Chains A and B, each alone.
Chain A
Amino acid sequence: MSLRFQRLLLILLTLAIILSAVLLILYNTRENVSYFYTPSEIDKSNITINKIIRIGGFVENDSFNKISSSSFKFRITDEKKSIVVTFNGILPDLFREGQGAVIEGAFVDKNIFNATNVFAKHDENYMPASIKEDLKDTGYWNKKYK
């Protein structure tokens, strides 16, 4: 084996070892690396009251209630479980029922999550607005896209 291929092998081996070390660290800390929990990942029996966390999912259909002009109540769901959220403040433009959202805040009791920040999450689909109208007219509009 020539010297240059020994060096190449050494470099590639080192890279593989560093990469696996970093990935192991990230894999074992994935709960902290993840930006939010989904409603099913939250263990209802083991909720820490007033601990700030983020939950993410979809705003459940027909769950949005406007209590006053800047006070809202809605449910966040991942189609398995849902969580009741209350929020005082300004909602982002994209926020609506059926839309993805990430909520930052804390549980005030076992069932109610009080949000301090609401972020809208959008999906990776891009489509001209005119096509949406066409699809709706012809009945091919996928209801999951809000």
Chain B
Amino acid sequence: MKFLVNPSKFNELADYIFKPVLILSILLFALGLLFSFYLSPDDYQQGSTVRIMYVHVPSAWLALLTYAIMTLYSIAALAFRIPFGFIFNTAVAPIGAVFTLICVISGSLWGKPMWGTWWVWDARLTSVAILFIIYLIIIFMNLSIENRNVREKVVAIFILVGSVNLPIVKFSVDWWNTLHQPATISKLSKPSIDPSMMTPLIIMTLAFISIGLSIAILRIKTEIISRKSNLG
């Protein structure tokens, strides 16, 4: 597991798995889109609009997952002095921001026909908007502070403080009355989604994970190189 904390070990592994992961993501996207558009049924209530879910839900999960991993790396970087954590955070923040943006845009395209509005300030939508702003602040801080030693610590601390938002995003639909419906899939109970609609959702989630992973590999490698050559 050295590749999780050691830049040169990571580089070694990345060279092996980058191409397979990239090809896998293309295949999964092709299969996932085929399932989303042609091989899955209309919803009993929402009709064809339900297909937006196959983009909306995976991107939301990935936005949260990316931030959760950044939080773990921030703790590792600050407490255990693992520089790879700082490298990871710098490289991956824009990916999380894009996933959040995809989630917000697809969600508002879904909200207009179903709820009758593009956007409301309920707890779930607002907390996701805050997550997006947090991602933007992380990116801007990475770009704006000159001194690298100061910058990476400040950013890591900011990521830790921002991680408070994660449980709020997750549980907002349970804690407060929101226009957004509660979670369909949780670990504790049987999901209230039909297997024929679960299949494209899982395939699209795997596709999002693999595309996220392949972009992350590229960005982390770039970050390692620019640090080695003292550009960053």
User: Could you list which residues of chain A lie within 8 angstroms of chain B, going by C-beta atoms?
Assistant: 4-5, 7-8, 11-12, 14-15, 18-19, 22, 26, 30, 33-38, 56, 91-95, 102, 117-132, 145-146
Q: Which of B101-109, B170-178, B213-221 contacts A (4 or more CB under 8 A)?
A: B170-178
B29 shortest CB reach to chain A, Å: 22
- The docked-state distance in angstroms from the alpha carbon of A77 to that of B56 is 30
A18 touching B78 by the CB < 8 A rule?
A: no
Interface range, B side: 35 or more
User: Could you list which residues of chain B lie within 8 angstroms of chain A, going by C-beta atoms?
Assistant: 40-47, 50, 53, 75, 78-81, 113-117, 120-123, 160-161, 163-164, 167-168, 175-179, 181-184, 192-194, 196-197
B179 touching A124 by the CB < 8 A rule?
A: no
B164 touching A19 by the CB < 8 A rule?
A: yes
Name the B residues within 8 Å of A34 (CB-CB): 123, 176-178
**Residue from A12, A18, A33, A121 within 8 A of B123 (CB atoms):** A33
B45 touching A56 by the CB < 8 A rule?
A: no
A4 touching B184 by the CB < 8 A rule?
A: no
In the complex where A34-B176, A120-B116 touch, is A11 in contact with B160 (Cβ < 8 A)? yes
In the complex where A22-B164, A119-B117, A145-B44 touch, is A30 in contact with B175 (Cβ < 8 A)? yes
- The docked-state distance in angstroms from the alpha carbon of A33 to that of B122 is 7
**Residue from A19, A30, A56, A122 within 8 A of B114 (CB atoms):** A122
Name the A residues within 8 Å of B44 (CB-CB): 127-129, 131-132, 145
Which chain A residue lies CB-closest to B75?
A11
**Residue from A22, A37, A124, A145 within 8 A of B168 (CB atoms):** A22
